[in-house]
């Protein structure tokens, strides 16, 4: 049982039997199916879509639900320690700051 809705230049095809939503806009888009995964729902991203979005396994994303649609957005990448250390130069390296004698739990006896 399919319902086809047309709005402007978009065609929405909703398959009510298998919970499939396919949005066609200016041509054909790959279809995907929403499936149950534990207590959540999951969608397998087709290889062509992942390649076009430059998305790889392990990429961190943010999931945003807006007005009846779901958007996947790439999160800002957290730099690795090696990347941060590589950015240290004599110009941005500063001398140690003296804060006075150690107090309380700062005191370490060797």
Q: What domains sit in the chain, N to C, each tagged with a CATH number?
A: 2-74 (2.10.260)
Please check whether residue 2 is in contact with residue 14, taking contact to mean a CB–CB distance below 8 angstroms. Answer: yes
Q: Which residue has the higher pLDDT, 73 or 1?
A: 73
User: What's the pLDDT tens digit per position in 31-59?
Assistant: 888 899 999 999 898 888 888 888 889 88
What 3-state DSSP class applies to 84? helix
Going by the DSSP 8-state scheme, the letter that residue 103 receives in this structure is -
Q: What is the pTM of this model?
A: 0.44
Mean pLDDT of 91-105: 87
Q: What pLDDT shows up at residue 28?
A: 61
């Amino acid at each position: 049982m399919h319902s086809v809705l047309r709005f402007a230049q978009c065609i929405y095809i909703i398959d009510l039997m298998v919970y499939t939503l396919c949005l066609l806009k200016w041509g054909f888009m790959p279809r995907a199916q929403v499936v149950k995964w534990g207590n959540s729902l999951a969608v397998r991203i087709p290889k062509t879509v992942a390649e076009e979005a430059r998305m790889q396994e392990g990429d961190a994303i943010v999931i945003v639900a807006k007005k009846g649609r779901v958007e996947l957005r790439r999160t800002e990448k957290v730099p690795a320690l090696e990347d941060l250390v590589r950015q240290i130069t004599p110009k941005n390296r500063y001398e140690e700051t003296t804060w006075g004698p150690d107090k309380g739990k700062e005191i370490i006896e060797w």
